[in-house]
């Protein structure tokens, strides 16, 4: 059985002191709840400014550090960007790639996402590849095709070993930060669609090993709806990850899926 991953995306929130306090709260809460790292993996993705401070707060704990983005080049005259080498140096284990806010607010293309994913793998960072459709695309019946294209463009040409390092998060754009969310059944169907695309590219063994998360207005009150789905292996949590108690409660639910 795939070990669930609960990843918190803190987006553009928190001062250094607030980020440190939240990270410490998550570590303390998981320990108090006796959440087994074997039952669920937990990661937090602070803004770049807080990565070093949060890394220190997580030291000695099983909570993984992740970043929210990276650039596809390793160094150079790219003002405002940050490289995979720099993230690895800070102790990051994960990096979010292709979040819908990067795609649709910043204008990242599928090809740019692919280059960033390759950069993450080059520096042994675990990419959390985000895919998902806009509401207009869903209404036109194009949700499946859009997500399949995003997955195919990002992953095609990778080696089998590289593909095994990728986590995929299905995040319907219309559900992010809106309070709306896909039903558990639809999240499961889309996760299955993504797994089938991975199977087409890399075979059944890889497809059954790759973790697929759900994201989009996930909170303690609804996360259980997704965790019971056989194709969903955890969640990428936005706003609800900014409160330690609630985020820990979601991790506890995910651990329960594993019996931990």
CA distance 133 to 147: 6
pLDDT higher for 174 or 213? 213
Name every residue whose Cβ is closer than 8 Å to that of residue 80 and which is 6 or more positions away in sequence: none
At 182 the pLDDT is: 84
Helix (H, G, I), strand (E, B) or coil at 44: strand
CA distance 18 to 89: 23
Token pair of 219 as six digits: 């909170």
What does the pLDDT average to over 186-196? 97
Per the DSSP assignment, residues forming a β-bridge with 127 are: 95
Per DSSP bridges, beta strands 126-131 and 64-67 are unpaired
pLDDT higher for 259 or 76? 76
pLDDT for residue 56 is more than 80: yes
C-beta separation of 218 from 171 below 8 A: no
- pLDDT tens digits, residue range 13-29? 999 999 999 999 999 99
CA distance 159 to 92: 22
Mean of the per-residue pLDDT values of the chain: 96
What does the pLDDT average to over 57-82? 98
Catalytic residue among 99, 133, 181, 225: 99
pLDDT for residue 38 is more than 60: yes
Does the annotation mark 13 as catalytic? Answer: no
Catalytic residue among 137, 171, 181, 225: 171
Backbone φ and ψ for 41, nearest 5 degrees, come out as -95, 135
Contacts for 243-247: CB closer than 8 Å, 24+ residues apart: 244/22, 244/25, 244/26, 244/28, 244/29, 245/25, 245/29, 246/219, 246/220, 247/6, 247/8, 247/26, 247/29
What does the pLDDT average to over 35-53? 98
C-beta separation of 215 from 130 below 8 A: yes
pLDDT for residue 97 is more than 50: yes
C-beta separation of 222 from 244 below 8 A: no
Does the annotation mark 99 as catalytic? Answer: yes
- pLDDT tens digits, residue range 153-182? 999 999 999 999 999 999 999 887 777 778
62 pLDDT band, cuts 50/70/90, is very high
pLDDT for residue 260 is more than 50: no
What does the pLDDT average to over 190-217? 97
- pLDDT tens digits, residue range 136-150? 999 999 999 999 999
pLDDT for residue 259 is more than 60: no
Q: Above pLDDT 90, what percent of the chain?
A: 93
pLDDT for residue 119 is more than 50: yes
258 pLDDT band, cuts 50/70/90, is low
């Amino acid at each position: 059985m795939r070990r669930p991953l609960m990843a918190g995306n803190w987006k553009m929130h928190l001062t250094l002191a607030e980020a440190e306090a939240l990270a410490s709260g998550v570590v303390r809460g998981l320990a108090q709840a006796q959440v087994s790292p074997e039952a669920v993996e937990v990661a937090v993705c602070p803004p770049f400014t807080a990565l070093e401070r949060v890394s220190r707060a997580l030291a000695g704990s099983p909570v993984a550090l992740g970043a929210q983005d990276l650039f596809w080049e390793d160094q150079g005259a790219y003002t405002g960007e940050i490289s995979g080498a720099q993230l690895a140096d800070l102790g990051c284990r994960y990096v979010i790639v292709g979040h819908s806010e990067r795609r649709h607010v910043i204008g990242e293309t599928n090809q740019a996402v692919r280059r960033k994913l390759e950069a993450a793998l080059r520096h042994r960072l675990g990419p959390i590849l985000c895919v998902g459709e806009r509401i207009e695309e869903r209404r036109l019946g194009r949700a499946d095709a859009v997500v399949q294209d995003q997955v195919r463009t990002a992953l095609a040409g990778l080696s089998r070993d590289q593909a095994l390092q990728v986590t995929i998060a299905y995040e319907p754009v219309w559900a992010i930060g809106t309070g709306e969310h896909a039903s558990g059944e639809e999240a499961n169907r889309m996760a299955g669609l993504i797994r089938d695309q991975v199977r087409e590219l890399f075979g059944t063994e890889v497809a059954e090993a790759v973790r697929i998360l759900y994201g989009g207005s996930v909170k303690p009150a609804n996360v259980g709806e997704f965790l019971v789905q056989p194709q969903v292996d955890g969640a990428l949590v936005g706003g609800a990850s900014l409160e330690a108690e609630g985020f820990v409660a979601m991790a506890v639910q995910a651990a329960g899926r594993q019996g931990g």
